[in-house]
Amino acid sequence: MTTVLLIFGLLLLVLINVPIAVALGAVALIGMVMSKGLNSIYNAALTMFDGATNFPLLAIPLFILAGALMNTTSISRRLINLTSALIGFVRGGLAMVNVGVSMFFAEISGSAVADVAAIGSVLIPAMKKRNYTPELSAAVTSSSASIAIIIPPSIAMIIYGALSDTSIVQLFVAGIIPGVLGGFSMMGLCYWYAVRYDLPREEAFSLSRLWVAFKEAGWALTLPVIILGGIFGGIVTATEGAGLAVVAALFIGGFIYREINWKHLRKAMVEGVTQTAVVMLLVATSAVLGLHLTEMQVPQQFASWMMSFTSNKYMVLALLNVMLFVVGMFLHGAAAIILIVPIVMPLVHQIGINPIQFGLIMTLNIAIGQQTPPVASVLVTSCSIAKTDIWETTKVNIPFILVLVSVLLLVTYFPPVSLTLVNLFYG
């Protein structure tokens, strides 16, 4: 099957609502049978098994489970109280609290929709009560939740790392500066909105209140410290860190906060297995497509095609960013990474782009994709909570998206932003 037919078939199946994972597998299977004969179905079945045994991806179910366990406790309320005590006294403080909590939460849970539901259901009604417009409340919640996927631990980075043979730990380290930069820029934007629309301050700063909030949230904060400390310190791998995250979440939720019961546990585990399976089936079927594309030398053809336009590294990066942006608008994050990585990696290597830097570029594009309709699960979740129209919210959200775009451009054209810490620790 030619590449054009393959893309056309894939588009057609996805548009009639065939699950993306099945659509990938089906077009690959048809393509393989047409080019290599009926016997290639056995190869496809073997690849579907091998594709699902990608060892680094083991971290996904464990991080999702740890996050789901923490989400069943009152962690969001504790983190909101702490961040509110820290920065609530500034004008527009509640919006900044929203951004700050997302940055904390990023280190605890792996699912952006679950995070935005947990944070948004508390903060959006509170913001509306304090005269923030529903659109601004939804926009702040939505954009700041997307910071979650560039601050470790990040499911998107785990998928990218596993599929591109890049160190997941180094990707995590690379995400720290861009994540913090994005978060603080969004807080600055919130302040600008607050001054412009005369939005209120929350309670005055009080050390005693901060101490009480810190004591309440302290255990929850030890989770990222222990896990990321272990991973960054080279004591455990990302997968082992994820395993420890589950133990720590069980300990904190079950024994310290005493908020996890069997019902919570079962729900968290069901959520963990289904979310994992959804991503892993995509990985497995895309392995079949990858096999077919490699046999047809599509990644190499794609590299030559792109190089025929320009061999300038920065121009290629610009073209890749446009492509990733468009794909991110129409596909969910995991699906976009799984589909794109095998096709573009030969080009990335050929043109001399650092794969860690490209991982950040990819993840940031996914973050932007979560904010750009028609497929924008995080934005849809915040709009549902705020009861606002997606397009009206998008108008208000544009400056926040521009912050994400600015961080993306910095990471793309100023590699030290993502690579300084990596070189410092692993250079």
By CB under 8 A, which span of 138-146, 149-157, 280-288, 352-360 interacts with another protein? Answer: 280-288
By CB under 8 A, which span of 84-92, 145-153, 219-227, 243-251 interacts with another protein? Answer: 243-251
Contacts to another protein from residues 65-124, by CB under 8 A: 65, 71-74, 76, 113-114, 117-118, 120-121
Rg of the chain over all Cα atoms, to the nearest angstrom: 22
What letter represents residue 119's amino acid?
I
Q: Tell whether residue 318 is a contact of another protein (CB under 8 A).
A: no
Q: Tell whether residue 1 is a contact of another protein (CB under 8 A).
A: no
Nearer to another protein, 125 or 399 (CB): 125
Q: Tell whether residue 29 is a contact of another protein (CB under 8 A).
A: yes
Give the nearest distance from C-beta 204 to another protein in angstroms.
29
Q: Tell whether residue 16 is a contact of another protein (CB under 8 A).
A: yes
Question: What is the spatial distance between Cα 424 and Cα 426, in angstroms, rounded to a whole number?
Answer: 6
Question: What is the spatial distance between Cα 55 and Cα 326, in angstroms, rounded to a whole number?
Answer: 30
Residue in 164, 185, 381, 394 binding another protein, rule: CB under 8 A: 381
- What sign has the CA pseudo-torsion 135, 140, 145, 149? positive
3-class SS of residue 8: helix
Is-contact 233 227, C-beta < 8 A?
no
Residue in 6, 10, 31, 61 binding another protein, rule: CB under 8 A: 61
**Integer CA distances (angstroms), 189 to 91, 95, 404, in order:** 12, 10, 12
Give the nearest distance from C-beta 49 to another protein in angstroms.
5
Give the nearest distance from C-beta 174 to another protein in angstroms.
24
Q: Tell whether residue 21 is a contact of another protein (CB under 8 A).
A: yes
By CB under 8 A, which span of 138-146, 202-210, 320-328, 329-337 interacts with another protein? Answer: 329-337
Residue in 3, 54, 300, 354 binding another protein, rule: CB under 8 A: 54
Q: Tell whether residue 48 is a contact of another protein (CB under 8 A).
A: yes
Contact map string, positions 115 to 154, toward another protein, x by CB under 8 A: --xx-xx---------------------------------
Give the nearest distance from C-beta 164 to another protein in angstroms.
18
Phi, psi of 200 (to 5 degrees): -80, 165
Give the nearest distance from C-beta 281 to another protein in angstroms.
5
Is-contact 378 113, C-beta < 8 A?
yes
By CB under 8 A, which span of 88-96, 165-173, 278-286, 416-424 interacts with another protein? Answer: 278-286
Q: In the structure encoding, which two tokens stand for residue 235, read together?
A: 């004591």
Question: What is the spatial distance between Cα 64 and Cα 109, in angstroms, rounded to a whole number?
Answer: 7
Nearer to another protein, 307 or 390 (CB): 390
Q: What is the dihedral of CA 21, 26, 31, 34, to 10 degrees?
A: 170
Helix axes 333-350 and 262-295, enclosed angle (nearest 10): 40
Question: What is the spatial distance between Cα 391 and Cα 163, in angstroms, rounded to a whole number?
Answer: 34
Question: What is the spatial distance between Cα 164 and Cα 255, in angstroms, rounded to a whole number?
Answer: 39
Contacts to another protein from residues 330-369, by CB under 8 A: 330-332, 334-335
Taking phi over 0 as left and psi of -120 to 50 as alpha, with beta for the rest, 2 belongs to beta
Nearer to another protein, 181 or 338 (CB): 338
Give the nearest distance from C-beta 231 to another protein in angstroms.
12
